[in-house]
Structure 1
């Protein structure tokens, strides 16, 4: 049995709940109404455009086109992270892109080759959606981790300078905030992983079941993707901090951000 078709107009029924939410925000002077409207509008436009675009990508299923689209996704994730963390686009963009690209590309190709066993590891049906799931989770983790690292050093600058004064090198002096960044990055995904099946049925599994897959097949895919998300998120934050810190400090180990 296939997925139940949803008419194009029925998502607008959600406005029934959106209107009271915005009224409450207005009454309590919670200034997020404009951002809520903008976010929903932008999401809708982006998804519609991506939907049309992916139809042609899936139709052609060309190695070069698929890879170009994945690289575009990595670049977009890098740009979003740089902006959210208020880093210098000129100095840190490529460092963040590499922080995303290295672990996520290695993981998606490993999954397609050795876990799923595809004949074509660049098959758009697997390559693009799975990469999107990995990147989306790495994005949120990187934003949390990078902000925790640099904000922690900035807010505890005297403690950082004191550690340097005791003959610690930059790595040793920043180690407490580096550890805190890794923990902050990983806590949400660890909590989510621990409660899957008890609290929630995650998107990958739900989508497989709605698409007509057997529950056990959906579960196996979900285990694979959650393990991959956890691993790539962990290595992505390490790569991102290590690569951005090269230009984040001056010759005297003072934080420039």
Structure 2
């Protein structure tokens, strides 16, 4: 069992937040409002989710678990499109589909094939695993969408050149999709190549602090990193492919710009 942290100790430690707030003031970053807003949202959301997960853990009901998972997917998809500053109307569905198609097979393999849980929808594993996989896919999808539509906007001559030579929309966007996927995967690949030497990932560290054997923690960390990589690849491929189909007409007309107009 890991050592508990009192609310007073947590509140006292939070006083260290004067450091980013002070640096914000010194460098005139104009981020004070965003910092405070993000911190308050984090506090409220984590406390509420902690209380709700206690309730879910006690019930361990398949429909409640799947309902919560659906909400996680919807919020995640909406956040990706919003942070990429692209229109929800056109891109929410392809992003949501990308997350679902990326998460579902990987999560089922983990629950049924590797962990072999009884029941398979055990809340203690289903929700945290889904949260880790989704959380690590958000930034990659944001980067990919930003890169794709920025490139289409900035390199219109090249794109129009492909179309003029007779390429269809898939052929004309192939190099842009390829570049978007490369940039989206780069941070994760860099992180994986230095894990253990430069960084100790959160899941592994958390298990060790919780009293787990270090080798057991290592096995779980390898498991989750492989799962994250596979899910990110699947979700990026699905999201970008569907986005090209919905955001670009068969004739090659891009229906949206980088700003989302």
Between the aligned partners of 1:20 and 1:47, the Cα distance in structure 2 is 22
Q: CA RMSD, aligned part only?
A: 1.3
**1:197 counterpart SS class:** coil
In 1, Cα distance between equivalents of 2:164 and 2:247? 19
Cα deviation code 1:208-253 (max 9, x no counterpart) = 1122211111111111000000110111111111112222113431
Tell me, in whole angstroms, the C-alpha distance in 2 between the residues paired with 1:91 and 1:178: 17
TM-score, length basis structure 2: 0.94
Aligned to 2:75: 76
Measured against aligned partners, the alpha-carbon deviations of 1:182-208 in whole angstroms (never above 9, x if no partner) come to 101110110111111101111111111
Q: Does 1:171 align with 2:161?
A: no
Alignment-derived partner of residue 29 in structure 2: 30
Q: Distance in 2 between matches of 1:210 and 1:178?
A: 41
- Report the Cα distance in structure 2 between the residues aligned to 1:247 and 1:12, rounded to whole angstroms: 47
Q: SS of the counterpart of 1:5?
A: coil
Number of the residue aligned with 1:120:
119
TM-score scaled by length of structure 1: 0.96
**2:206 equivalent to 1:207:** yes
**Over residues 79-124 of structure 1, what are the superposed CA-to-partner deviations in whole Å (9 max), with x where a residue is unaligned?**
1011112222223212211110111021111111111121222110
* Structure 2, unpaired ranges of 5+: 257-261
Further displaced range: 230-239 or 5-14: 5-14
Measure, in 1, the Cα distance between the counterparts of 2:69 and 2:200.
27
For residue 14 of structure 1, report the CA deviation from its aligned partner: 3.9
SS of match in other structure, 1:50: helix
**Residue matched to 1:249:** 248
Secondary structure of 2:207's aligned partner? helix
* Structure 2 equivalent of residue 55 of structure 1: 54
Structure with more contact order per residue of length (Cα contacts < 8 Å, sep ≥ 6): 2
Note the alpha carbon deviations across 1:138-165, whole angstroms, 9 max, x for none. 1111001111111111111111101111
Unaligned runs of 5+ residues in structure 1 are none
Deviation at 1:12, TM superposition (A): 2.8
Q: Deviation per CA, 1:29-70, whole angstroms, max 9, x where unpaired? A: 211111111111100000001001000000000111111111
Q: How many residues align?
A: 256
The residue aligned with 2:8 is 9
* 8 Å Cα contact 2:169-2:250 kept in structure 1: no
For 1:251 and 1:175, the matched residues in 2 are separated by: 15
Partner of 2:259: none
Q: Which residue of 2 aligns with 1:64?
A: 63
1:9 match: secondary structure: helix
Counterpart-to-counterpart distance in 2, 1:45 and 1:153: 39
